[in-house]
Amino acid sequence: LSTDEYVEGILNGNITILSQAITLIESNNHEHYAQAQEIIERCLPYAGKSVRIGITGVPGAGKSTFIEAIGGMVASLKHRLAVLAIDPSSERSGGSSPSAGSLGGVARKTRETIVLCEAAGYDVIFIETVGVGQSETAVHSMVDMFMMLQISGAGDELQGIKRGIMEMADM
C-alpha cells in the first residue's frame, strides 16, 4: 500500500490496514522504515485522545483474565478498545507479539502502535506488559494509569519481584 492508503485506512478505522501498518512499523526491514515514519508523522495530529492504561503483574496474576472482563465492560459502554498484549520473546522462535529483547515489558514500537490505534479512533487502550517483574517500568511513561495485579496470598516470597514497580502503580 502507499503511505496515503495506509493513513486513509487508519483514519477510517480499517482494522486490516491498521494491523498492516503496525506490522510495517515493527519491521526490521530498512526499506520499510521511511514509510513507517511518514505514516506515524501523518497520524500524530489525530493521536493523544485516548485513555491509556498499563497493566502489569507477575505471571499468573490474571492480567489477561482481567483484561477480558474489564474490556467487555468498556466495550459495553460504547468505547472503542484496543489491547496491546506484549509477549516475551523466545530466543528460539521470536514470540508472537514479541518484546524482541526490549526491556521495560513492552515491544520496541509500542509508542508508535499507540499513535496508530488512537488515529484509528480507539479511545481506550490497554497495554499488557510481559509480566516478568521489575523490568515493567517503561510502560509507566506511556500511560495515564498504571495498574499492577498481584497474586493474592503470595506474601513475602514475591516481595523482591514486586519491589520497585509497586511504587509506580496507580492502582
Q: 63-84, pLDDT tens digit by residue?
A: 889 999 999 999 999 999 999 9
- pLDDT given at position 32: 92
CB 98 within 8 A of CB 87: yes
The CA distance from 30 to 47, in Å, is 25
Confidence of residue 47 (pLDDT cuts 50, 70, 90): very high
pLDDT at 94 over 90: no
| pLDDT-based confidence at residue 160 (cuts at 50, 70, 90) | low
27-45 pLDDT tens trace: 888 889 999 999 999 999 9
Can you name the residues that pair with 126 across neighbouring β-strands? 53, 83
Which residue is listed with cell 505514516?
39
Q: What angle do CA 125, 114, 169 make, to 5 degrees?
A: 55
Alpha helix segments (H runs only) across the chain: 3-11, 15-26, 30-43, 63-76, 110-119, 159-162, 165-168
Give me the chain's average pLDDT, please.
82
Identify the pLDDT of residue 100.
47
Residue 115 has pLDDT above 70, yes or no: yes
Whole-number pLDDT of residue 45? 97
- Looking at per-residue pLDDT, the higher value among 88 and 49 belongs to 49
pLDDT at 106 over 80: no
Task: Render the burial of 117-152: b for 16+ CB within 10 Å, e for the rest.
Answer: bbbbbbebbbbbbbbebebbbbbbebbeebbbbeee
What's the pTM value of the predicted model, to 2 decimals?
A: 0.81
Asked whether residue 103 carries a pLDDT value surpassing 60, the answer given is no
Query: Which of these, 138, 152, 143, 130, lies nearest to 170 by C-alpha position?
Result: 143
Tell me: pLDDT of 24 over 60. Answer: yes
3-state secondary structure of 28: coil
Percent of the chain with pLDDT over 90: 50
Residue 88 CA to residue 94 CA, distance in Å, equals 9
Do residues 139 and 104 make contact, with C-beta atoms less than 8 angstroms apart? yes
For residue 157, give the C-alpha cell: 516470597
Arithmetic mean of pLDDT, 17-22: 96
The letter for the amino acid at 17 is I
